[in-house]
Amino acid sequence: MTTAKLKTMGQQSGRRSWAEPWKIKMVEPIRLTIQAERTRALKEAGYNTFLLRSEDVYIDLLTDSGTNAMSDRQWAGMLMGDEAYAGSRNFYNLEEAVSTYYGYRYMVPTHQGRGAEHLLSQTLIKPGQYVPGNMYFTTTRIHQELAGGTFVDVIIDKAHDPGNEHPFKGNVDLGKLEFLIKQKGAENIAYISLAGTVNMAGGQPVSMANVRALRELCDRFRIRIYLDATRMVENAFFIQQREEGYADKPIAAILKEFCNYTDGAWMSAKKDNLVNIGGWLAVNDNELFDSLRNMVVIYEGLHTYGGVAGRDMEAMAIGIAEGVQDDQIRSRVGQVLYLGDLLLNWKIPIVKPVGGHAVFLDARKFYPHIPQDQFPAQTLAAQLYLNSGVRGMERGIVSAGRDPKTGEHRFPALELTRLAIPRRVYTQAHMDVVAEAVKTVYDAREHTKGLKMVYEPKRLRFFQARFEPVAE
């Protein structure tokens, strides 16, 4: 089935609509605040949506990280927590789920994705080495830098163009990578940091052909590939939808084949694994695993719990199996495409093709009159909240941070506001409300003014920076 078919299912005459493969057993009330309340809340939050209280938010699309709804089976699993300090039964269940569905031999749990990034970066990167990857991710890059490495972006150029409709905008540019390897010497490349899908490019996938070719190139130079598997199930869905020869393969088979081309992976289980907290790091190399198992004890916890409770490991193990079901992933990405389609129908500028976990609004096109150092994407996130209580987040100049060498802002090509959709949480009606909110803000775009930063944290500034409207 092609994406086009999926997008229009239910709208074509003679076709049947599809619905979520679950029904709701428990509800959490939410409330739309009045405009005056939102104005005050936003001011108190320094115009940074990360600093809003959740209670002041109506529909929360800040992130899809840890905001998933767990299934009745996962909740039942929580009651089966074996909270032994060492050798918890739930650890072995998690280990088995990782090896069954991702295929890696050895695994340590971590408290979340960045815990795993920390361990891997500290273990594999020697100061002065380079870490090429398909576009940076905030926490990933900072751990690589703190370990003394330099991240080098080797994603295809099309990934930086929000309007380009390449089906696999997450692909590595093998020419760029080979050039870098030859220029710096293979011994100065710590490993390839491969992500599927690429969050910062708008949730864009990597093709199977690309990872296969990457494997061949890396074998020639004896370089290892480590995968940020956080959204790899969504990536597998796009391969099934778009890549020749995969239409009839189950998601689970595609996921495993992809991982098979890599030497290990780290995971924020708060995404594809359908839990609220947790992560893991898995590798095939016995010696490397030995080092990681030593490190995890220092920073996370003993290697059979790694900073998460037994019950959380159980929820992860069950979440892994649920997350790779074809109907689950199809409805998850289908909901994102549904929102994207509504906006595209109104000609609202978003990143195309619509990605796996979020719709990214192109803030440059909303506000061509706001210079990038007046934070167009931050402004758009603030306006959306003000208008309708919908919370998104900035993915532009604020997220990109400053160049550690020059101290200047990095000016990324993409200046985006992200609306990330939590898994199994909101209904189609919520998506309709969000789309209408975006349209209202878009219609008022010409009168919108930018922001200035009045407090700037040293690292990962987007989380805690504070802003004020620029003077009239």
Ligand X SMILES: *Cc1c(COP(=O)(O)O)cnc(C)c1O
Q: How many residues bind ligand X (CB under 6 A)?
A: 16
Answer yes or no whether residue 48 interacts with ligand X by CB under 6 A: no
The interface with ligand X within residues 138-157 (CB under 6 A) comprises: 139-140
3 state SS of 54: helix
3 state SS of 212: helix
Nearer to ligand X, 374 or 417 (CB): 417
Answer yes or no whether residue 230 interacts with ligand X by CB under 6 A: yes
Residue 369 tokens, joined: 């009159």
Indicate which single residue of 268, 335, 379, 383 sits in contact with ligand X (rule: CB under 6 A): 268
Question: Among all residues, whose Cβ is closest to ligand X?
Answer: 113
Question: Which pairing describes strands 106-110 and 393-395: parallel, antiparallel, or unpaired?
Answer: unpaired
| Separation between Cα atoms, residue 97 and residue 113, nearest integer Å | 17
Stretch that binds ligand X, among 100-108, 137-145, 323-331, 452-460 (CB under 6 A): 137-145
Please state the closest distance from residue 113 (CB atom) to ligand X, in A: 2
Stretch that binds ligand X, among 112-120, 250-258, 317-325, 376-384 (CB under 6 A): 112-120
Nearer to ligand X, 111 or 293 (CB): 111
Indicate which single residue of 97, 195, 315, 419 sits in contact with ligand X (rule: CB under 6 A): 195
Classify residue 259 by burial, with Cβ atoms within 10 Å: 0-12, 13-18, 19+: buried
Please state the closest distance from residue 233 (CB atom) to ligand X, in A: 12
Please state the closest distance from residue 412 (CB atom) to ligand X, in A: 16
| Separation between Cα atoms, residue 248 and residue 256, nearest integer Å | 15
**Ordered strands of the 192-195 beta sheet:** 106-110, 279-283, 264-268, 225-228, 192-195, 130-133, 150-153
Answer yes or no whether residue 279 interacts with ligand X by CB under 6 A: yes
Answer yes or no whether residue 49 interacts with ligand X by CB under 6 A: no
Which H or E run includes 6? helix 3-8
Classify residue 161 by burial, with Cβ atoms within 10 Å: 0-12, 13-18, 19+: middle
Nearer to ligand X, 61 or 195 (CB): 195
Answer yes or no whether residue 207 interacts with ligand X by CB under 6 A: no
Nearer to ligand X, 109 or 450 (CB): 109
Answer yes or no whether residue 112 interacts with ligand X by CB under 6 A: yes
Stretch that binds ligand X, among 163-171, 236-244, 263-271, 449-457 (CB under 6 A): 263-271
Answer yes or no whether residue 372 interacts with ligand X by CB under 6 A: no
Indicate which single residue of 199, 204, 262, 383 sits in contact with ligand X (rule: CB under 6 A): 199
- In 3D space, the residue among 209, 220, 229 whose CA is nearest the CA of residue 156 turns out to be 209
Straight-line distance from the first to the last Cα atom of the chain, in angstroms, rounded to the nearest whole number: 52
Please state the closest distance from residue 153 (CB atom) to ligand X, in A: 14
Nearer to ligand X, 195 or 431 (CB): 195
Nearer to ligand X, 113 or 162 (CB): 113
Answer yes or no whether residue 270 interacts with ligand X by CB under 6 A: yes
Please state the closest distance from residue 231 (CB atom) to ligand X, in A: 6
- Give catalytic residues, as residue numbers: 85, 137-138, 228, 271, 395, 462
- In 3D space, the residue among 148, 196, 323, 167 whose CA is nearest the CA of residue 252 turns out to be 323
What lies within 8 Å, CB to CB, of 14 at 6+ separation is none
Nearer to ligand X, 47 or 226 (CB): 226
Answer yes or no whether residue 110 interacts with ligand X by CB under 6 A: no
Nearer to ligand X, 392 or 450 (CB): 392
Percent helix, strand and coil across the chain, each to the nearest 5: 45, 15, 40
| Separation between Cα atoms, residue 19 and residue 430, nearest integer Å | 14
Q: 170-197 as b/e, with b when 16 or more CB fall inside 10 Å?
A: bbbbbebbeebbeebeeeebbbbbbbbb
What lies within 8 Å, CB to CB, of 299 at 6+ separation is 115, 118, 119
| Separation between Cα atoms, residue 436 and residue 442, nearest integer Å | 10
What's the Rg (C-alpha) of the chain?
A: 22
Stretch that binds ligand X, among 87-95, 170-178, 234-242, 266-274 (CB under 6 A): 266-274
Stretch that binds ligand X, among 82-90, 180-188, 217-225, 228-236 (CB under 6 A): 228-236
Residues of this chain that bind ligand X (CB under 6 A): 65, 112-114, 137, 139-140, 195, 199, 228, 230-231, 268, 270-271, 279
